[in-house]
Amino acid sequence: MAGFFSRGLRAVKNSSESDPAAFSPIGQSDHMRRVELLDSFEKAGLGWFWATDSLGRLIYLSDTAPEKLGWNVDEVLGKPLGDLFMAEQSDDPDRPERPLAFLLSARNSITQLPVKLAGTREEIWWEIAGKPEFDAKGEFAGYRGSAKDITATRETQRDAERLAQYDSLTGLANRHRITKRLTSTLKAYRNSKRTCALMMLDLDRFKQVNDTLGHPAGDELLKQVAARLDRIIGNKGEISRLGGDEFLIMLPDIDDRGQLGDIGSRLIQMISQPYSINGSRAIIGTSVGMAIAPYDGLDTDELIKAADLALYAAKGGGRGQYRFYSSDLKDGAKLRRQTEEDLRDALVKDELRMFYQPIIDAKTHKLKALEALMRWDHPERGNVPPSQFIPVAEDIGIIKQIGDWALHEVCRQAQEWPLELRVAVNVSAVQFAHDDFPQVVQRALQASGLDPRRLELEITESVFMGDNGRTQRMFEELKNLGIRLALDDFGTGYSSLSYLRTAPFDKIKIDQSFVRGATEEGNNNAAIMSAIVGLAEALDMETVAEGVETHDELQLVKNRGASSVQGYIFSRAIAHDEVLERLARGDLEYEPRGPAKYRAERKTVFRRVGLIHEDHRYRVVLRNISKTGAMIEGLLDVPLGTDVVLDLGGGQLAVATVRRSFAHSQGLEFEIPLISDGAEGFCTRHRVSPYEIEAAGKPLSALPQDAYSLIAGNSAGQSPRRFMQVDPHPPR
């Protein structure tokens, strides 16, 4: 096809032909040289020209364009331009989409419009420009325009945008992208009355991987974590890496805390499975904080702060847990910071104490050993359990100092006992990771004079996260000292039989999570317990069933073959002075004391809540609560079968029926069971929606503690009160 601009034009003689040295600029009337210039431009592939008729059909396209694309030019000519190209789709929700045919029909000038070529295997982009052409009568004659290939430029731009929006290591969205996406989503969802959940995670013990295996191993671990997150979340939401070992997950249109709790549990379980990195085994964990818009916040900063507080609480509760945000967590964050400050001085001020829980022979009920458990005798808060301060000690880097002190103190105290009983000491994975740990143990034994055969170190599976060769050498050094080794919390960290084959353990401790609920019908924990006991016997190891509290649990662990039992049914952890007194009396046999049967977990509480009956609201005292019901006090003679609503605060309303009633106490059964709040308490799946409060004439905001009153108001109601309210035991 001849050049568009040369078609039908006469050649004009150029004076430079007779005198090559003469200067001859190209003028407007010098059609021949102008056409040559345009033809050379086309042939060079620097750009192309196109034209349409009045109906938008293509009547001209530079020859080199279809040649490059592999098109048959005869098939292209005559086709509507809008069928050959697709206009770029806008990411801006405020800009309406306009197809190319619509833009051409408007007969306006087109400037630097990116279009995608249709019907090509590869993604090819052009940038076109054009002007409408009109004849002498003013009639539209079509477009005349230019085009150039911008595919490479777009790819470069796309790579740059990707680098700006995505994490280069994991391929996940980065902080900038997720913040922008969350902001636009929350803005749009507020108008359409939709919800959006946010999960914030960080990895437990990730620093140890970097320290023991190196930063390249840490990078590989982050990639594997990202892949596991993607397998769980899939297309339900967007995952981002905020930086370091922190991740954020956005889950649109989810506000069911039961569903979110299930996702949180799966994330924790999946991430806690072992990793294989360059031939080494790594074990980490994660903690998860959750917040939901609009319940816990309306804008990006507010919601991220809420999720961060929930994560802070999850880590403070012992790690490997999830937490939902609640307004109470603000006080919890202050408490955590205060705990960090106070814990640094606890050793210096002699506030740490060692308590001891008996380990009992399953057949004779006689004392076999004692497990040392640390307590913090806080001057204001009293005894603080290790689940609250050990994770803090690990975070602020003083766990080795505390662990070394505990080892020396336990050896010293055990040497004072009138009987030569074994004593078990828990060892943190952080403490175990230090190369001088065997020397620390040796010094504690030498300083106290304790027989090494009486010392038993309880080690969790997380110690296998690093170099297997180093771990094995550490075990050999410890065994050479003459001490015993016990594998603690077996089965909770995705146990591997490979290390049981080589690690010289003397005992396996069956975690209490397998004991709890094992007597209920349909529970598989009893079968798992039998498998663990059988494995231990085959490896010539003892077994201890932890957390036994009821007689039916005790009978079960005996029947399943556990050699020892530990739990409240025999004794809680007791102070060292009490241990000395009991041993001095020779009182070594323990009588089981506890409930006959296991029942669903019930939490003892003592706080005021609301109770709604008909159009009246009463203030009652919540005494205990479980997933299926609660015990309250404060109303006299409430008939059985009375339907009520328990207001647990923060927009949590639980429909219930009175099943037991005596004087001022009532037992309630919930219509819909509560769910775990990730800690030791319970919460409702759903809450009063801030959108309902807005519909009642109040400004849209995150839920306050007394959310229900904003909808119901404070009116006393039209009907008389049915029940007399009393205050038998006001909360202190």
pLDDT, one tens digit per residue, over 275-307 is: 888 888 788 889 999 999 999 999 999 999 999
User: Are residue 360 and residue 262 in the same domain, yes or no?
Assistant: no
Q: Which residues of 348-357 are buried (b: 16+ CB within 10 A; e: fewer)?
A: eeebbebbbb
User: CATH number for the domain including 554?
Assistant: 3.20.20.450
Helix orientation angle between 300-316 and 386-395, rounded to the nearest 10 degrees: 110
Cα 204 versus chain centre, distance = 12
Whole-number pLDDT of residue 562: 93
**Whether pLDDT at 481 is above 80:** yes
Whole-number pLDDT of residue 728: 61
728 lies in some domain? no
**Whether pLDDT at 159 is above 70:** yes
User: Are residue 244 and residue 145 in the same domain, yes or no?
Assistant: no
**Whether pLDDT at 241 is above 60:** yes
User: Are residue 545 and residue 524 in the same domain, yes or no?
Assistant: yes
Tens digit of pLDDT for each residue in 484-538? 999 987 766 555 566 777 778 999 999 888 888 788 777 788 888 899 899 899 9
User: Are residue 111 and residue 173 in the same domain, yes or no?
Assistant: no
Report yes or no: 314 and 297 within 8 Å, Cβ to Cβ.
Answer: no
Which are the contacts of 1, defined by CB distance < 8 A and separation ≥ 6? 60, 63, 73
Closest CA to 503 of 543, 532, 545, 460: 460
Give pTM, 2 decimals: 0.69
15 lies in some domain? no
Whole-number pLDDT of residue 332: 67
661 lies in some domain? yes
Pure H helices in 239-385 = 257-272, 300-316, 329-346
**Whether pLDDT at 3 is above 70:** no
396 lies in some domain? yes
| DSSP β-ladder status, 484-490 and 455-459 | parallel
**Whether pLDDT at 614 is above 90:** no
Report yes or no: 372 and 448 within 8 Å, Cβ to Cβ.
Answer: no
Give the mean model confidence (pLDDT) for residues 574-581.
95
User: Are residue 89 and residue 238 in the same domain, yes or no?
Assistant: no
**Whether pLDDT at 7 is above 50:** no
Placement of tokens 């739990």 in the chain: 567
Query: Given 327, 344, 364, which residue is the final one in a domain?
Result: 327
Torsion angles phi and psi, residue 171, rounded to 5 = 80, 0
Which range has the top average pLDDT, 61-75, 321-335, 405-419, 520-534? 405-419
User: Are residue 568 and residue 617 in the same domain, yes or no?
Assistant: no
Whole-number pLDDT of residue 717: 54
Give the mean model confidence (pLDDT) for residues 668-687.
91
Which range has the top average pLDDT, 335-339, 442-446, 515-519, 625-629? 442-446
Name the average pLDDT for the chain: 86
User: Are residue 620 and residue 689 in the same domain, yes or no?
Assistant: yes
**Whether pLDDT at 11 is above 50:** no
Q: Count up the domains in the chain and report the number.
A: 4
Whole-number pLDDT of residue 90: 52
Report yes or no: 26 and 37 within 8 Å, Cβ to Cβ.
Answer: yes
**Whether pLDDT at 130 is above 50:** yes
Torsion angles phi and psi, residue 669, rounded to 5 = -115, 125
User: CATH number for the domain including 70?
Assistant: 3.30.450.20
Cα separation, 516 vs 524, in Å, equals 11
* Residue 63 or residue 166, greater confidence: 166
333 lies in some domain? no
324-333, 391-400, 553-562, 564-573: segment of lowest average pLDDT: 324-333
User: CATH number for the domain including 693?
Assistant: 2.40.10
Tens digit of pLDDT for each residue in 216-231? 999 999 999 999 999 9
Report yes or no: 186 and 303 within 8 Å, Cβ to Cβ.
Answer: yes
pLDDT band for position 567 (50/70/90)? very high
Report yes or no: 395 and 613 within 8 Å, Cβ to Cβ.
Answer: no
Whole-number pLDDT of residue 497: 67
* Residue 624 or residue 7, greater confidence: 624
pLDDT band for position 19 (50/70/90)? low
**For the chain, percent of residues with pLDDT exceeding 90:** 48
Query: Given 93, 121, 156, which residue is the final one in a domain?
Result: 156
Cα separation, 79 vs 57, in Å, equals 5
Cα separation, 75 vs 58, in Å, equals 10
727 lies in some domain? no
User: Are residue 565 and residue 624 in the same domain, yes or no?
Assistant: no
79 lies in some domain? yes
User: CATH number for the domain including 185?
Assistant: 3.30.70.270
Which range has the top average pLDDT, 99-103, 370-374, 528-532, 659-663? 370-374
User: Are residue 145 and residue 177 in the same domain, yes or no?
Assistant: no
Residue 666 is part of which domain span? Answer: 602-712
Query: Given 585, 613, 629, which residue is the final one in a domain?
Result: 585
User: Are residue 548 and residue 647 in the same domain, yes or no?
Assistant: no
Whole-number pLDDT of residue 116: 85
User: Are residue 407 and residue 459 in the same domain, yes or no?
Assistant: yes
**Whether pLDDT at 371 is above 90:** yes
**Whether pLDDT at 389 is above 70:** yes
Whole-number pLDDT of residue 652: 94
User: Are residue 63 and residue 138 in the same domain, yes or no?
Assistant: yes
Whole-number pLDDT of residue 92: 46
**For the chain, percent of residues with pLDDT exceeding 70:** 89
**Whether pLDDT at 2 is above 50:** no
74 lies in some domain? yes
Cα separation, 718 vs 716, in Å, equals 7
